[in-house]
Amino acid sequence: MAPLTIYLSRLIGLLTLIAGLSMLADKPQAIDTVRAVIRDRSALLILGMLGTAAGLAVVLGHQVWSGVYCRCW
């Protein structure tokens, strides 16, 4: 695998793990926060744009479309 692939998988995996564990640690607060963000349209728009920008950064920075590095098939 390419070094960038390994780096991105570790980064995204750890971020997801930490976010999930923090939500499990204080579940009522996490639910209240999600409900508040859903009600606030401007916050939802900003979070959506940040998520889109992060996804585009991953796609543009890691263009491996040939399957040469991944033997998943």
Higher pLDDT, 59 or 72: 59
Q: Does some domain include residue 18?
A: yes
Average pLDDT value for residue range 12-37: 95
User: Structural domain of residue 26, as residue ranges?
Assistant: 3-59
Q: Does some domain include residue 25?
A: yes
Name the residue with tokens 């390994």.
6
Q: Does some domain include residue 67?
A: no
Q: Does some domain include residue 11?
A: yes
Give the model's pLDDT for residue 63.
73
Q: Does some domain include residue 13?
A: yes
Do the beta carbons of residue 64 and residue 5 sit within 8 Å? yes
pLDDT grade for 13, boundaries at 50, 70 and 90? very high
Do the beta carbons of residue 73 and residue 67 sit within 8 Å? yes
What would the pLDDT profile of 30-52 be if each residue is shown by its tens digit? 999 999 999 999 999 999 999 99
Nearest to 15 by CA among 47, 54, 56, 43: 54
Q: How many domains does one find in the chain?
A: 1
pLDDT grade for 61, boundaries at 50, 70 and 90? confident
